[in-house]
Chains A and B, each alone.
Chain A
Amino acid sequence: AQRVTQPEKLLSVFKGAPVELKCNYSYSGSPELFWYVQYSRQRLQLLLRHISRESIKGFTADLNKGETSFHLKKPFAQEEDSAMYYCALSRWNTDKLIFGTGTRLQVFP
C-alpha cells in the first residue's frame, strides 16, 4: 500500500540553523515525490518535486530509493520559512497524491 510518513509534527529551530524535515514512503513501484507548503493564511502550494532536482527558496530534497526517503533540507533557516510542510507521493504519471500528516516548522528569530 502507498503510505507517506512524516514522523515529526513540529520542528522548531532558530534562524540560521540547518533544517531537515523527514519524509519516508512505502510504495512498490516508481513513485513521484513532492513537498507542498502552506504558509499562514495562504493556500497549499507546491514547493518542489523530485524529478525537477532543483532548489526552491533554498530548500532541496533528494530521493533516496534505498532508504525510501525524501527528506527536505535547508542549510540556513529563515523566519519566513515558518509554515506547514507536507510530503506527498503519486504513482508515476498520475495526479492522485497521497499526503503525509505534515510537519509544522517554526523558525525563531
Chain B
Amino acid sequence: SQTIHQWPATLVQPVGSPLSLECTVEGTSNPNLYWYRQAAGRGLQLLFYSVGIGQISSEVPQNLSASRPQDRQFILSSKKLLLSDSGFYLCAWSVRGRGEDEKLFFGSGTQLSVL
C-alpha cells in the first residue's frame, strides 16, 4: 500500500536560518507531489507542485523553494527563514488518472515556528 512520510513533525527555527523539510512516498511510482501551507486564518495554500523529477511549479511568490531529486522525494527549502514562513506545512501526493479514487493523499504535516 502507498504511504507518505513527512518529517520533522515540529521545528523551531530562528529568523535567518535555513530550512529543509523532506517528504517521501512509498508504494507508488511517478506520483504528482505537492507542498501546501496552512497558515492561521488562511486555509490551505498550494505552494509547489511537481509532475516529475526536477519539474517544479511554483504557485505563489515566496521565500521558499522546492526540489525533487528523486521520483518519490520532495524537499521544501529556504536559505533564510522569515517570521512569515511560520505555519503548518503539508506534503501530498496523487496519481494521475485515478478516476473515482481519492484525489490527494496528505502527510502528517510539519509545524514550523520561526522566532
Contacts and interface: CB of A to CB of B under 8 A. Distances in A.
Interface of A: 6, 9, 32, 34, 43-46, 49, 51-52, 86, 88, 90, 95-102
B115 interface: no
Contacts of B34: 96
A12 to B, nearest CB: 18
B5 to A, nearest CB: 12
Contact of B106 (A6, A45, A98): A45
Interface in B1-45: 32, 34, 36, 41-45
Contacts, number: 46
Interface of B: 32, 34, 36, 41-46, 49, 90, 94, 96, 100, 102-104, 106-109
Contact of B44 (A9, A32, A46, A99): A99
Nearest to B42: A101
Contact of B90 (A9, A44, A101): A44
A49 B106 CA distance: 16
Nearest to B101: A46
B102 A46 contact: yes
